[in-house]
Chains A and B, each alone.
Chain A
Amino acid sequence: MRTITSLAGAAALAVTIGAAGAAHAGKDLDAIKARGQLICGVSTGTAGFSLADSKGVWTGMDVDVCRAVAAAIFGDASKVKYVPTTAQQRFTALQSGEVDMLSRTTTWTLTRDTALGFDFTGVSYYDGQGFMVNKKLGVKSAKELNGATICVSPGTTTELNLADYFRANKMQFKPVVIEKADEIRAAFFTGRCDVYTTDASSLYSVRAANVPAPLTAADFVILPEIISKEPLGPVVRHGDNQFGDIVRWALYAMVEAEEYGITSANVEQMLKSEDPTIKRILGVTPGMGKALGVDEKWVVNIVKQVGNYGEAFDRNLGAGSPLKIERGLNQLWTKGGLQYSPPIR
């Protein structure tokens, strides 16, 4: 009955917020430590970002961010409980405390960062919204989509950008809106819609992983237009800045590690490095861990168990994965991309 749970979740939120006692600083982190586990809200299944295999083991870029946070807090990346959420349910789940954080292809917007009561802690993937169509339609550009029927998930920036784009270009469309990711994809593949729209990365993921036989990935094209900015990143709720800081710096640590050439393979040798920056990052020169309120070996734990940003990207989305997505905007700033960590000092 997942379909109606988002409303039930919202109702539960009304009750929890009504009954909850006064908040105090560090309450989320204390609760996580007491529980011995981080509860991370992920998607219900988007290959490359968060997907559970038949044994219930979660993998993906978004999952790796959760694991990095657990590695920072507990020194053990496996101390995570994953809670699958649809786009519609995710914010209620976070507001009500059902999850400690979200790491599920969620776009950083002003409203979410303010009125919804959240803080975005960084950008794990710079994305943009795209369109996918069946090749048979012969469509070459999004500008040709006037009158199309378009499959889209509710409660997303996608849904809003779509309406904006068609308004700006004086075109009409008919949305088909279904909450469950599987169902909306099925509606597209069976031909209920001409177009499927979501973050471009998810389009690549769906095309690589979800096309039902006898159709194949080659039957579908992703149109060249990218109609929006979708900076996807981890989210925490207002009220515990220390936990927010840990989530923020866990991701930065992965980026910083890549920039300084620290990998899961060489992190042990790097501990012997004479470079003062690397010594600081890896806690050989103490201070950073204490400032964050975690173990001084936090970055060592993250890199050893999860890898640096580049390793995680390759394994989940890039050359080492079925998706083969280019680094593009997600390349390090030193290589012409946007991934840039403030200094760990």
Chain B
Amino acid sequence: MIDVIVIGAGPAGANAALDAAGYGLKVLLIDEGRDAGGQVWRPKSTSIKKAPKTGAIVQGDTLRQKVRNSSIEVRFETRVWHIETDESENWLLALVGPEKEYTVKSKTLIIATGAYERVIPVPGWTMPGVFGLAGATALLKENMIVPGRRTIVAGNGPLLFFVASEVIRLGGRVSAVVSLNGLWDWVKALPAMLMRPILLLQGIKWILSLYLKRIPVYWRHGVKSVEGKEKVEGTSLTRVDKDWRPVPGPEIYIHGEALCYGHGLSPAIEATRLAGASHHFDPTLGGWVPTVDQYGRTSQSGLYVCGDNAGILGVGAAPIRGAMAAKAAYEDLSGNTGKEINKVIKKRAEIFGRAMTALSIPRAGLLDFIENETEICRCEGISRAEIYQEIKFGARSPNAVKSNTRCGMGPCGGRYCSETVALMASDFTGKTREEIGLPTARPPLRPVVMGEITDDLDYDDLPIPGVSPL
């Protein structure tokens, strides 16, 4: 029997797996990617033969090497689509991948599924040429391609400046950076940023490089609409107040063929929710997060978390969070004491990470940018007006809005729209996000092709439970 399954081979999960293997545990590491590294240390596309050795590449390559040299069993290009426990309290996972191994069991489970992009809609946001900020970083990292001839970078938080500087580094042109945060927001975050002086310097370097290239940075501005006939041709901007409500002022129009646009990261909590852990809402951790002790033990026995899915603290904290989860799993399994962990590094990373995340948390004013016809749910094509009508009529929970409108019933599983719906419900009712709640977690974690998750049926093997009274 496997001692520990780790889902997610980013810096947090891969390090958790390495430490767990180091304790002598039998470990299985699963990731949907081609190799370890996750979003931040993403391996380059195999078609790219030569690339400059950036820090991320070196760190990623080192991690991948360590995993290869360890006793960890790996399943790449494999997705977990359901999580449950069996009658002896072991974890039972359903898989889809090249191995045709449909289920696997373990004594403990570490979930390190990271984070995904949060985007609050504006008119025109579904036009070709609009990329999420995080999606753009993936494109830049994996394929070394810039999104368009001239790129507009807009949204909030630190990712804006990273994306803009990467576009420039790869030889692209940035026509403007549009930040909902004011300079003052950043100044207030300075003390926390001093916890990680190197990252602070790096940030300053990014911003300076923009000023040196005379790229306009619009502080406390937001994208009012994305303009273009068939694809992005530009965006109009507006100033915002401290709640990020648009305020009247001169119209600003920026030309550009690509818009990188986003509002920070959301912890990817579908897996921990499916596994039955308790969650709570903490804006400085990025929203809903599993409720854990300092090592990442969840409310479910034998279930641990590490990395951004346990709260957005970034890559700085990830390896230590991985080590802590592995230690907890090892101690709970064996009764022995795991190795000492330097919690100071985690503490500093946490102060820094929370400050950065607080810059990205959407504020209520963003709802004012959305027009009645603006699409909220892309999969099902549901507009703000349709959702608003249901909320007004009394559907106040994410489940009720979903049932009534189909918002969130498409292939993305509500990943992209549920945040906006919850913000709308909270704004309308005056209730907290905690009171508004989350939609019920259901499998599959991502859509799965039916023929890939089961063998063909041997008809005589069909279990026929007598269930039908005449």
Please say whether chains A and B are actual partners in one complex: no
